[in-house]
Structure 1
Amino acid sequence: MATALNRVVEEIAPPTSEEQREATRAAVSRILSDTAQVALRLPGGAEYHLDAEELRALLAIGLARANGQRVSVISHDVMLSPQQAAELLGVSRPMVYRFIERGDLAATRVGTHWRLLTADVLALAEHRTRLAESVETGLDHVARTMDSSDRGTAAEDGAKESRRAATPEQKKASLERVRRKARSRRK
């Protein structure tokens, strides 16, 4: 376990069986009830009681695992390489360099290498999520407006249906194409 604490990201696999997931769900439910107290029993029998923040983190991990999801735990104060930041953001390494060049992401030179603070990478991820959600809301508004008008053409109807049927990845790719077109028009 001591070696796990030295890694940048601690990966926690989901339970392997439905019985284990159900046991995790039951434990989380008991913890969520106001009567539960959570303590760690240390070697020698001493107990350490979790504070509210530790309990919140434990519950988040438990809920994700109960749903069969893999969990990653990372400290906000850790310096990341551009490759690690790319993996955390779900983008390519060259895209991380573009974020740095545009000033979207703060970075520090350590010798000949760039290093990024985890907190800054997570803040950018949150900003990008909020931006995507606002664009999604705007596109949904446009689609509803088009639905309510009687002037819709067959092409508009097809576009609306395609939008509704698109996966999140397809919507993200479409949004990126729109952004690229907008940037090319500005140049």
Structure 2
Amino acid sequence: MSTSLPDNFETVAPTPVDAELARQSSKQLAARRLGNRSSIRLRLEDDEEADSVVVPISALKLFQHLLAEMSHGNSVTLVPTHAELTTQQAADLLSVSRPYLVKLLEEGKIPSRLVGRFRRVRFDDLMAYKRQDDELRAKVLDQLAKEAQESGMGY
């Protein structure tokens, strides 16, 4: 099943106050020993009411990662791996231009499908391409550094 993201899928950019609160919350959650349990009950309180909710441990771990990223001031977006992105959304995630992304799609370097006359890219396919590209770049940089060392260039 594919899910299309809305054009304005939400990215949360933490304020300095949010980042500090996320840092404190992240520390508190990290200090908890969760053991082998599969779920945990969380208590939600505000000025008017209190309630509790049972969540899977995997969701709590994801929440901890979210808080850790926010504590460093990083913007966070939650994207299901099966979600389909527009070419602009995919280009933004790779930090490339939309025309360059379209070229990658046309060359078959990233799988895509047509919905009417518009291309859609699965998030997991996009991330697989990014991992592959990052690995290739790292190998090239390692090779260049090795050649620089062998040539006595002082690197």
TM-score per shorter chain, which class?
0.7 to 0.9
User: What is the rounded CA distance, in whole Å, between the counterparts of 1:64 and 1:57 in structure 2?
Assistant: 11
Among the aligned pairs, what percent are the same residue? 21
Structure 1 counterpart of 2:89: 84
Any idea what SS the aligned residue of 2:54 has?
strand
Structure 1 counterpart of 2:14: 14
Is the Cα contact below 8 Å between 1:107 and 1:115 reproduced in 2?
A: yes
What is the CA distance between 1:31 and its match in structure 2?
1.4
What is the CA distance between 1:116 and its match in structure 2?
1.2
Runs of 4+ in 1 over 4 A off after TM superposition: none
Q: Which has the higher contact order (CA 8 A, sep 6+)?
A: 2
Structure 2 counterpart of 1:68: 73
Q: TM-score, normalised by structure 2?
A: 0.76
2:61 counterpart letter in structure 1? R
After superposition, the Cα gap between the structure-2 partners of 1:38 and 1:89, relative to the gap in structure 1 and judged at 3 Å, is farther
Equivalent positions of 1:1-187 (< 5 A) are 7=6, 9-17=9-17, 20-35=18-33, 39=42, 41=44, 45-51=51-57, 53-147=58-152, 156=153, 160=155
Q: TM-score, normalised by structure 1?
A: 0.65
Unaligned runs of at least 5 residues, structure 2 = 35-39
Any idea what SS the aligned residue of 1:72 has?
coil
Unaligned runs of at least 5 residues, structure 1 = 1-5, 148-155, 161-187
| Cα deviation 1:88-136 (Å, max 9, x = unaligned) | 1111111111111221111111111111111111111121112212222
Q: CA RMSD in A?
A: 2.6
1:12 counterpart letter in structure 2? V
Is the Cα contact below 8 Å between 1:10 and 1:74 reproduced in 2?
A: no
Structure 1 counterpart of 2:37: none
After superposition, the Cα gap between the structure-2 partners of 1:98 and 1:40, relative to the gap in structure 1 and judged at 3 Å, is farther
Higher helix share: 1
After superposition, the Cα gap between the structure-2 partners of 1:34 and 1:138, relative to the gap in structure 1 and judged at 3 Å, is farther
User: What is the rounded CA distance, in whole Å, between the counterparts of 2:139 and 2:110 in structure 1?
Assistant: 21
User: What is the rounded CA distance, in whole Å, between the counterparts of 2:6 and 2:32 in structure 1?
Assistant: 34
Higher strand share: 2
What is the CA distance between 1:38 and its match in structure 2?
6.5
